[in-house]
Amino acid sequence: MSVAALILREAAHRKLSSALMLGAIVCAVALPVGFLTAGEAAQRETGRLMRDLGYNLRIIPAATDMSAFWRDGYSGETMPEEVTRRFAERGDLSYNHLLALLQRRVLAGDDEILLTGLANEVAPVGKAQASMTFAVAPGTAHAGFEAARALGLAPGDEMDLLGRSLEVAACLPETGTLDDARVYVNLSDAQEMLALPGRVNEVQALECGCDDPAVDTLALLRRELEEIVPEGRVLRMERIAQARERQRRVAAAHFALVLPWVIIACGVWIACLTALNVRQRQSEIGILRALGRDSGHIASLFVGKAVALGLIGALAGFGLGTALAVALGPSAFPITGGAIATEWRLLAQALVAAPLFAAIAGAGPTVAAVAMDPAACLAEREGA
Amino acid sequence: MIHIEGASRVYRRRGRKAVAAIDQVDLRVERGEFVCVRGPSGSGKSTLLLTIGAMLRPSAGRVEVAGEQVYALGARSRAAFRAEKIGFVFQLFHLLPYLDVRANIAAASGRVGGKARDAAVDELLERVGLAGRADHLPAELSAGECQRVAVARALLHRPVLLLADEPTGNLDPRSSSAVESLFGEYRAQGGTILMVSHDRTPFEGVDRTIHLAEGRVASEPGARDT
């Protein structure tokens, strides 16, 4: 009878024991698979939450009077709109989500508002992501909370601004910032209204995460900016940038700390179960040895079963872990949970790791048993 | 067939006095003989049998079986020696619980397969009266039937030496008689038998009886025991 047939007969005979061991391997694989699959979402979620803190870089014309800048909230100088194109053509930058703006305080009737021309967000080559802000169609306006209230605007209204008629596409919720006083229009409309064609006075951007705490990221940003936009200067909103970077690092460190323990614990779990199973079947080793079966045959019988269960357990555990992550992920990660998907690389890793742990664990007691005299193996059963 | 000189097996456990299960045993059994080893429980009978069966290395002494010093062989060669030369009938049968009767008997012929093996299994099933139970698992058999399976398994590969540990100890008279009959047939074909028994019930065909007491050969009357 072949080794495979013997393994099948033994497994079929000890259905409960085999099922329990298989179930344990399934759980031991499902746990890290689910953890890792959901962990990917957790990392994405952290990234999204940090991104939603807003743009953390402001690139303004180098000639800006900084006192006026901080007083007015924008630069009185302008720079060419095409600076965003220069960023977009590069893929090796620490900047992303580039948003060109043209801002001026203007009168709307008796009220002063902050007119903000908004371009579509652009990304450097190979870094395209969903936009962080809304787009404003030409001929329309999005009114900030205070501006809408002061001007009595509601969605669908027509408003006149600097001789231009605009349809109010949206009235924005209160933010508690200067943004409440803005009226957003399309950049081209703002350029036309302010008679500043092809000009912007600010490019906002998001600094990409830097994983190396030793790197002076502000110096790096300034070097890159000097190379691309020599006529600009970069300001980093340190609180946002640091909070973002710190949170990303905390999330990564937490993951790096927990993951090895999860994997080690599950590996040891599989190993203990396999070793216990082999130990419980020691008398069989004695019988087979007494019948003259060599140690290679016996080892293949026991390690073969461990490998087979490891493979089946890896497949089922991967399915279970992924299913749980997909089912439960969205409630834990409302922003990115829906994007939790099958991580196929985990299947490959599980198919290697689970049988390997089981085989190594099974090999130990098997080798120890076949090294004993057959009579000693049998005596352990009789003594048990 | 069997030549033992000064064989001892000492069990040592931490904190306990060493116990010699067999102590300086000398024994010769000629080819074709049927020898019965008797003695009370704990006298070393099973240890002697396991030592001769290449399954329990003696602490001291020389064990030669079928012309081979079995403990001079490597583990693999000793396994091959057991598979080829020795048939062993255990008191507790030691059948594999997940194999049916046919597969349990066939399990002894790890190196031999195919039609010849299947025919030999069928023949043995007929001889032990279990042809109708070939597909049953050991758990579905009586003790007597299990012992007959164990005897059939021990005889399948036509060993030159049959070692039997209390082969009828758990059996009713009818099953005992069946086992005796099988031993007789094996013997008639030139086989050598060394059997262990703790009681004094006569066993048909025994040439001589050796008595063990406290691990030593107490007497070897040499008289026929039938």
Question: Which residue of A lies nearest to B163 if distances are taken between CA atoms?
Answer: A290
Scanning B140-199 for CB atoms below 8 A from A yields 153
A14 touches B: beta carbon within 8 Å: yes
Strands (E) located in chain A: 57-61, 79-80, 95-108, 111-118, 140-143, 158-161, 164-171, 182-186, 199-200, 202-207, 232-236
Give chain A positions within 8 Å (CB) of B86.
Answer: 292
Tokens of A12: 């079929």
Judgement on whether residues A115 and A169 belong to the same structural domain of the protein: yes
The per-residue pLDDT for A47 is 63
User: Residue A27: which domain range?
Assistant: 3-49+247-383
CA–CA distance, A338 with B61 (Å, rounded to integer): 75
Strands (E) located in A219-340: 232-236
A286–B110 CB contact, under 8 Å: no
Give chain A positions within 8 Å (CB) of B108.
Answer: 291-292
Q: Which tops the pLDDT comparison, A60 or A209?
A: A60
CA-closest candidate to residue B94, choices B179, B52, B153: B153
CB environment A277-298: b (16+ within 10 A), e (fewer): bbbebbbbbbbbbbbbbbbebb
Q: Is residue A327 part of a domain?
A: yes
DSSP at A261 = H
Judgement on whether residues A232 and A268 belong to the same structural domain of the protein: no
% of chain A with per-residue pLDDT over 90: 28
The per-residue pLDDT for A383 is 41
Mean pLDDT over A102-109 rounds to 91
Mean pLDDT over A188-200 rounds to 94
CATH architecture, domain defined by B30-57+68-219: 3-Layer(aba) Sandwich (3.40)
The SS3 of residue A213 is coil
Judgement on whether residues A100 and A223 belong to the same structural domain of the protein: yes
Q: Which of A12-16, A96-100, A255-259, B43-47 has the lowest mean pLDDT?
A: A255-259
pLDDT of B225 strictly over 50: no
pLDDT of A217 strictly over 90: no
Query: What's the ipTM?
Result: 0.84
A13–B81 CB contact, under 8 Å: no
B106–A290 CB contact, under 8 Å: no
Judgement on whether residues A293 and A352 belong to the same structural domain of the protein: yes
CA–CA distance, A130 with A312 (Å, rounded to integer): 40
Mean pLDDT over A29-48 rounds to 77
* Chain B interface, best mutation among A291, A293, A377, by max B CB count within 10 A: A291
Kindly indicate the confidence band of residue B120, based on its pLDDT and cuts at 50, 70 and 90: confident
Judgement on whether residues A45 and A61 belong to the same structural domain of the protein: no
The per-residue pLDDT for A105 is 93
pLDDT of A352 strictly over 90: yes
The per-residue pLDDT for B16 is 75
Q: Is residue A241 part of a domain?
A: no
Q: Which of A1, A283, A297 sits opposite B103 (nearest CB)?
A: A1
The per-residue pLDDT for A182 is 93
Rg (Cα) of chain A, in Å, rounded? 33
Q: Is residue A242 part of a domain?
A: no
pLDDT in tens, B151-193: 999 988 889 999 998 888 777 787 788 888 888 889 898 999 9
Give chain B positions within 8 Å (CB) of A302.
Answer: none
Q: How does strand B60-65 pair with strand A199-200?
A: unpaired
Scanning B49-88 for CB atoms below 8 A from A yields 50, 53, 55-57, 75-76, 79-84, 86, 88
pLDDT in tens, A289-345: 888 888 888 888 888 988 999 999 999 999 999 998 888 877 776 666 666 778 888
Closest-CA distance, B15 to chain A, in angstroms, reads: 19
Give chain A positions within 8 Å (CB) of B151.
Answer: none
Judgement on whether residues A253 and A214 belong to the same structural domain of the protein: no
Ranges of each domain in chain B: 30-57+68-219
Q: Is residue A334 part of a domain?
A: yes
The SS3 of residue A193 is helix
Judgement on whether residues A105 and A150 belong to the same structural domain of the protein: yes
Mean pLDDT over A197-207 rounds to 87
Q: Is residue A274 part of a domain?
A: yes
Residue where a domain terminates, one of A187, A207, A236: A236
Q: Is residue A206 part of a domain?
A: yes
Q: How many domains does chain A have?
A: 2
